[in-house]
Structure 1
Amino acid sequence: MATNPRPEVTVGTLISGAVDITKQNLGIVLPAVGGLAVLATIGQYLTINGSLALGGLVQLGVLIAAVIVGYIVLETMLKQAGLMAYSGPRRFLPFLGLSIVVGVGVILGMILLIVPGVYLAVRWSLAQPRLVGRGDGVFDAIKASWKLTDGYAMRIFLCILALGLVVVVIAIIAGLLGPTNIIGILIGQLANYALTMVMLGLSVTLLGEIDPLGRKLSEVFE
Structure 2
Amino acid sequence: MSETLRRKGVVGTLGDAIAWLRRNPVLIVIFFLHGLLELLGELLGSVGSLLGLLGFFVLLYIDGLVHVVGKREATGETVDLGRASSTVLGRFLSLIGIAIVYGLAVVVGFVFLILPGVYLAVRLSLAFPACVIDEQNTFESLSTSWSVAKGNLFKLLGISLASFLVVAGAGIVTVLFTGVSDEFYLAFLAVTAVLTAVVSPIVQFAYARVYLENRPDSDSASTAGDRRDDSWESTDGGSRSESEGVHW
For 1:23, the aligned partner's letter is: R
Distance 1:190 1:112 in 2: 33
Deviations 1:194-222 (A, max 9, x none): 33222211111102222255xxxxxxxxx
Distance 2:216 2:47 in 1: 47
* Deviation of 1:191 (Å): 2.5
Q: Aligned to 1:211, which of 184, 195, 215?
A: 215
Map residues 128-143 of structure 1 onto 2, 5 A cutoff. Answer: 128-143=128-143
**What SS is found at the alignment partner of 2:75?**
coil
Name the structure 2 match of 1:34. Answer: 32
Unaligned runs of 5+ in 1: 1-6, 47-51, 214-222
Tell me: CA distance 1:141–1:33, structure 2 relative to 1, closer, same or farther (3 Å): same
Distance 2:66 2:11 in 1: 23
CA contact (8 A) 1:25 1:77 kept: no
> Which is further off, 108-117 or 16-25?
16-25
Coordinate RMSD, CA, aligned: 2.5
Tell me: CA distance 1:175–1:62, structure 2 relative to 1, closer, same or farther (3 Å): farther
Distance 1:130 1:83 in 2: 19
Q: Aligned to 2:64, which of 42, 66, 71?
A: 71
Tell me: CA distance 1:151–1:80, structure 2 relative to 1, closer, same or farther (3 Å): closer
Tell me: CA distance 1:192–1:104, structure 2 relative to 1, closer, same or farther (3 Å): farther
Unaligned runs of 5+ in 2: 1-5, 78-83, 218-248
* Deviation of 1:162 (Å): 2.0
Q: Aligned to 2:55, which of 62, 77, 89?
A: 62
Tell me: CA distance 1:39–1:190, structure 2 relative to 1, closer, same or farther (3 Å): same
For 1:77, the aligned partner's letter is: G
Map residues 1-222 of structure 1 onto 2, 5 A cutoff. Answer: 9-27=8-26, 29-46=27-44, 52-82=45-75, 90-176=90-176, 177=178, 178=180, 180-181=182-183, 182-212=186-216
**Identical aligned residues as a percent:** 25
Tell me: CA distance 1:162–1:69, structure 2 relative to 1, closer, same or farther (3 Å): closer
**What SS is found at the alignment partner of 1:151?**
helix
For 2:32, the aligned partner's letter is: G
Distance 2:7 2:206 in 1: 16
CA contact (8 A) 1:174 1:188 kept: no
* Deviation of 1:12 (Å): 2.0
* Deviation of 1:116 (Å): 1.0
> Which is further off, 139-148 or 187-196?
187-196
Distance 2:151 2:66 in 1: 28
Distance 1:99 1:194 in 2: 22
Name the structure 2 match of 1:218. Answer: none
Distance 2:47 2:93 in 1: 25
Distance 2:133 2:102 in 1: 18
* Deviation of 1:15 (Å): 2.2
Name the structure 2 match of 1:4. Answer: none
Distance 1:192 1:109 in 2: 25
Aligned length: 200
Tell me: CA distance 1:18–1:71, structure 2 relative to 1, closer, same or farther (3 Å): same
**Runs of 4+ in structure 1 displaced over 6 angstroms?**
86-89
* Deviation of 1:36 (Å): 0.7
Deviations 1:63-103 (A, max 9, x none): 2222222222322232232399x996721111111122112
